[in-house]
Amino acid sequence: MSFTSPLIRSAITLAFSSGLAFTQTYLYAADADSQVKNANTVKEQDKHDQASLPELAVTSSKTKVVGYNPLESRGATRTDTPLREVPQSVRVVSREWLDDTRALRLADTVDYVSGISRLNDFGATWDNFAIRGFSNTDQGILINGFRGSRGYNVTRDAATVERFEFLKGPAAAVYGASEPGGIINVVTKKPQFTQHNSLDVNIGSYGLRRAALDTTGPITDNLAYRLNVVAEDSAMRSSLLEGDRQVFTPALTWILSDKTVLNYEAEFARVSTPLDRGLIQINGRAGALSRSRVLGEPNDGNVELTSQTHQLTLEHEFSDAWRGRAGLSFKKGSYEGDNTELATFNPSVVNRRQMWRSLPMRDTSFQAELEGKLKTGAIDHTLLVGVEASRLWMAQEITRSNPSISPYALDIYNPVYGQAKPASQDWWFDTNEHQKNNAVYLQDQIGLSSQWKLLVGVRADNYHQEYEDSLAQANTSRQRQTATSPRVGLTYLPSDWASLYISFSEGFRPNSGGSATGKAFDPQSSRATEFGLKLQTVDQRLGANFAIFDITKRNVLVTDPANANRSIAAGEAESRGFEADVFGKLNEHWRLTANFAYTDAEVSKDSNVSLVGARLANVPKTSAGLLAIREGFLPNGSRYGVGTGIVYVGNRAGNATNTYDLPSYTTVKLLSYWDATPKARFSLDVSNLFDREYYTSSWNNYVMPGLGRSVLASLHLQF
């Protein structure tokens, strides 16, 4: 067990001792009526605390996200806009949802959002999901509206997050380069001027031990702080593997005046984990090996990932109608370590290679924007004009052994570990990439009437890309490109409980590297059309989104027919489908989320004609999820909740050539919690209740198994 264990054990001892004291005091000091009143009072106070301070970056003082059915979110338009007026499918996963489900990672949320599928996660070292069929790895995650996933990054921890905003469809008109399926905006917890402290402790199967502290409050009348600290020994699918993580996120909010607020946030994260590629498919069968089998080399140790992020934002209200915002984000990260990977295999033996990687990165972004409201006659306008500049550097240094010279075999049915490592490794990659981008964007949300809303926007990007290959100078390339990304959306609101919309948008994403002739690739381009319906109950507790979409992406890199070792930008992929999400409270006792997606994503053009019509790897045609929780009160007045989560993922292509499939699966999760006092909650959850063998994703011949039945015991304390 890692060095974090003593800290976690101490936190667990303290937390459960405190929880027992809270419980005893509660049970003997109050009668049932006062307990009910106290619980309701604290619950309302918690809601007040969560909304008491303006969130900067991509939220403002007008944006309050409470419950399962948030009514507003700034992520889609960068302005305070009711979600029912946004001509785009947006699914917001709130802090309440994260707390109810004990979600520890971003990855714990995606099964309950329509149209999201899991992709190769690089041995569980990064977040990689497909939205409407297209990967969001490189450009698809924002942190408070800033780029958060360029280069190599640690997986997103949920303890520091206020909410996840899943913004479906192209987002290039306001955020620039991105995949056409959509992006995920992570809104972090902000400082509050009301003192609030909490401690979460988790003990689970597969070696999981975790403690998370969240404390916030005033320093002076005008200065508030927030600090989140996480220490974890991570769950691993095999006892031969172990990993740990630490996250430290200090934040300050300084109210300079009644019109001006300065916000600083930082995140320091370290993750130590094996680069575990998983199992292999054998003769088209994903489940040929035990899900705990390790095909790498446990003696390799772990890869070490570090990430450091700093964000500084200044927001000023010039008047009731106009406000300005400026922000600066700096992020750097590293990824370094050894691992052993498959080179070749036959039905019983794999020949492996030893590898070493160093993947550093630095990313700096500046944003400034002005937002204002005005009228032209009877027509309302919400104008947004902004500029953005960013600089990105990332490098790849990778060596690997030659299995034909230094064999490193393993019997997959009777593995023997600890063999002598290959004596030498050869350079495989030694590259540097620099990206410079300058952009300006303009958006107008036009209130044609109380029932008709028109959104028009456009962004112009000018970027310079340099790719340097130290091992093959012919691969070095430089390019300067421009891209214009428009979007138009029209929303009709026939009543207070329904809205219909149609939207059209275009996007782009740069292609790294160069052709066999040394010429830089043209960027990928995309077009998307979407029709949607949004509903909500009169009391606004329950909402629903329905969307039909059609996306085409061009200039996808495919194999050069004249040189099989190089690529050309000539491929095309299409994705069409239907999505449905329902979320909110049915009544005082029941709350739920439900989702369904049909996604037909395939290759529509390729240099290899036999691949035309191939399904995009890891994207199921059908998927669905249901989470239902019932909450009530026990005779002594304490609150409880019980629920279930059911996830269905359909059959998926295992690789780009569709030579094998990942089978469909259904998993069931049970949730339960008991509020022993208004400030102490005990939880017990069981995931994969029926111990189903399933596979979450694949890469080439590798398949990643999901964990078996697991139990998670949790304690949440407020003090």
Per residue in 99-119, pLDDT tens? 999 999 999 999 999 999 999
Q: How many angstroms separate the CA atoms of 279 and 238, rounded? A: 12
Closest CA to 9 of 202, 249, 198: 202
Q: Which range is least confidently modeled, 45-59, 515-529, 582-596? A: 45-59
- Are 342 and 277 in contact, with CB atoms under 8 Å apart? yes
Residue 48 clears pLDDT 50, i.e. is over it: no
Q: Read out DSSP for 385-448?
A: EEEEEEEEEEEEEEEE--TTTS--EEESSS----PPPPS--EEEEEEEEEEEEEEEEEEEEEE-
* Phi, psi torsion values for 445, nearest 5 degrees: -100, 115
Which residues is 255 bridged to in the sheet?
Answer: 261
DSSP single-letter state for residue 506: E
Q: Are 275 and 123 in contact (CB under 8 A)?
A: yes
Instruction: Report CA Rg, the chain.
Output: 26
**For residue 299, which phi and psi values (nearest 5 degrees)?**
-70, -5
- Closest of 312, 310, 361 to residue 334, by C-alpha: 361
Strand order of the sheet with strand 116-118?
116-118, 129-131, 134-135
Q: Give the end-to-end CA distance of the chain in Å, rounded to a whole number.
A: 30
Dist. CA 311–CA 578, nearest whole Å: 37
Q: What is the DSSP string of 250-280?
A: EEEEEEEETTEEEEEEEEEEEEEE-----EE
User: Quick one: pLDDT at residue 158?
Assistant: 97
Count of helix runs (H) and strand runs (E) in the chain: 4, 37
- Given 3-state DSSP classes, what are the helix, strand and coil percentages for the chain, each rounded to the nearest 5? 10, 55, 35
Mean pLDDT of the region 565-578: 90
Of the CA atoms within 13 Å of residue 202, those in its CB half-sphere come to 27
Q: Say which residue the tokens 């406000």 belong to.
A: 323
What is the reported pLDDT for 66?
67
Asked whether residue 477 carries a pLDDT value surpassing 50, the answer given is yes
Query: Is pLDDT at 657 greater than 90 in this prediction?
Result: yes
SS3 (DSSP) at 242: coil
State yes or no: pLDDT of 436 exceeds 80. Answer: yes
Contact 709, 687 (CB under 8 A): yes
User: For residue 160, what pLDDT is reported?
Assistant: 97
Do 361 and 150 form a contact (C-beta atoms < 8 A)?
A: yes
Count how many residues are written for the chain: 719
- Contact (CB, 8 A) for 236 and 243: yes
Which of 71-80, 404-413, 470-479, 547-556 has the least mean pLDDT?
Answer: 470-479
523 pLDDT band (50/70/90 cuts)? confident
Average pLDDT over residues 588-599: 96
The predicted pLDDT at position 46 comes to 42
Mean pLDDT, the chain, rounded, equals 89
Do residues 489 and 502 touch, judged by C-beta distance below 8 A?
A: yes
pLDDT-derived band of residue 467, with 50, 70 and 90 as boundaries? confident
Q: Could you identify the residue written with the tokens 């459960």?
A: 16
Q: Compute the half-sphere exposure of residue 203: CA atoms within 13 Å on the CB side of its CA.
A: 12
Taken in order 265, 269, 275, 278, the sign of the CA dihedral is negative
pLDDT at 380: 96
- Identity (one letter) of the amino acid at 291? R
Distances in Å between the Cα of 50 and the Cα atoms of 190, 430, 469, 488, 641 are 9, 47, 49, 34, 22
Cβ atoms within 10 Å of 424's Cβ, excluding its own: 11
What is the mean pLDDT of the segment spanning 466-494? Answer: 90
Q: What is the rounded CA–CA span in Å between residue 589 and residue 586?
A: 8
Supply 124's token pair.
């569980």
C-alpha to C-alpha distances, 442 to 41, 93, 183, 447, nearest whole angstrom: 44, 28, 19, 17
Between CA 710 and CA 706 the distance in angstroms is 11
Give the pLDDT score at 568: 87
Whether 170 shows a pLDDT value over 90: the answer reads no
Phi/psi region, residue 124 (left: phi>0; alpha: psi -120 to 50; beta: rest), is: left
How far apart are the C-alpha atoms of 186 and 158, rounded to whole Å? Answer: 9
Q: Are 383 and 337 in contact (CB under 8 A)?
A: no
Per-residue pLDDT tens over the stretch 366-381: 999 999 999 999 999 9
Q: How confident is the model at residue 521 (pLDDT cuts 50, 70, 90)?
A: confident
- Residue 242 to residues 291, 410, 708: CA-CA distances in angstroms? 16, 21, 17
Q: Is 517 exposed, middle or buried (0-12, 13-18, 19+ CB in 10 A)?
A: exposed
What pLDDT sits at residue 634? 95
Give the integer Cα–Cα distance in Å for 660 and 4: 40
CB atoms within 10 A of CB 538: 9
User: Residue 151 has what pLDDT?
Assistant: 80
Amino acid sitting at position 24:
Q
Q: Can you give 543-607 as a three-state secondary structure string?
A: EEEEEEEEEEEEEEEEEECCEEEEEEEEEEEEEEEEEEEEEEECCCCEEEEEEEEEEEEEEEECC
Q: What is the pLDDT of residue 33?
A: 39
* Residue pLDDT, tens place only, 244-296: 999 999 999 999 999 999 999 999 999 999 999 999 999 899 989 999 999 99
Q: Which CATH class is domain 5-347+361-718?
A: mainly beta
Q: What CA–CA distance (Å, rounded) separates 29 from 45?
A: 21
Candidates 255, 199, 312, 212; CA nearest to 52 is: 255
Residue 474 reports pLDDT greater than 90: no
In degrees to the nearest 10, what's the CA dihedral of 602, 607, 608, 610?
Answer: 50
> Which DSSP state fits 298?
G
